[in-house]
């Protein structure tokens, strides 16, 4: 698990593509605001939410996918906005999709899913907001 500022800074600096699982199309929701912030910092955002696919809704100008397994490009970080008890299937999809890291947002803690991701070679950040950590650690 990445816990040091240096490890998290290196992950944020190396990443280019962030799949946001559980993203909302509502600009008032945290998932939307974090994705929008990350997009403004230059990350390519990939929305992952089956509801958006069923309604044919784009988020932040990007096509949405039902699952990580449907994403046709390399994913550097999977940013998870889901209840802790629903994280394991997301981690399994991240592993299958060849993602480099999983990032569980604030208040999302699932030790078993974190261990599974690490055992498969993925980097893991848990119980931290990606936007907050970016603002705190990345040079301006």
Q: What is the pLDDT of residues 9-53, one digit of tens each?
A: 999 999 999 999 999 999 999 999 999 999 999 999 999 999 999
Backbone angles phi, psi at 110, to 5 degrees: -145, 95
Q: In the predicted model, what is the mean pLDDT of residues 65-93?
A: 97
In this prediction, residue 124 carries a pLDDT of 98
Q: Is the pLDDT of residue 139 over 90?
A: no
Q: How confident is the model at residue 70 (pLDDT cuts 50, 70, 90)?
A: very high
Q: Is the pLDDT of residue 94 over 90?
A: yes
Q: Is the pLDDT of residue 86 over 90?
A: yes
Q: Domains in the chain, start-ordered, CATH in brackets?
A: 5-137 (3.40.50.720)
- Percent of the chain scored above 70 by pLDDT? 100
Which pTM does this prediction carry? 0.97
Structure-token pair, residue 27: 């600009």
Tell how strand 44-48 and strand 17-21 pair up.
parallel
Distance in angstroms (rounded) separating the CA atoms of residues 119 and 63 = 31
Q: In the predicted model, what is the mean pLDDT of residues 94-103?
A: 98
In this prediction, residue 132 carries a pLDDT of 97
Strands (E), 3-132: 17-21, 44-48, 77-80, 101-104, 123-125
In this prediction, residue 140 carries a pLDDT of 76
């Amino acid at each position: 698990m990445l816990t040091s500022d240096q490890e998290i800074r290196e992950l944020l600096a190396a990443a280019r593509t962030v799949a946001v699982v559980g993203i909302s199309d509502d600009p008032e929701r945290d998932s939307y605001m974090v994705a929008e912030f990350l997009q403004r910092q230059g990350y390519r955002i990939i929305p992952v939410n089956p509801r958006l696919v069923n309604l044919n809704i784009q988020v932040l100008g990007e096509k949405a996918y039902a699952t990580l397994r449907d994403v046709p490009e390399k994913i550097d970080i999977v940013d998870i906005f889901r209840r802790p008890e629903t994280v394991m299937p997301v981690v399994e999809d991240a592993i299958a999709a060849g993602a480099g890291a999983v990032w569980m947002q604030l208040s999302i803690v699932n030790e078993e899913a974190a261990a599974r991701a690490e055992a498969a070679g993925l980097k893991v950040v848990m119980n931290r907001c990606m936007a907050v950590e970016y603002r705190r650690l990345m040079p301006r």
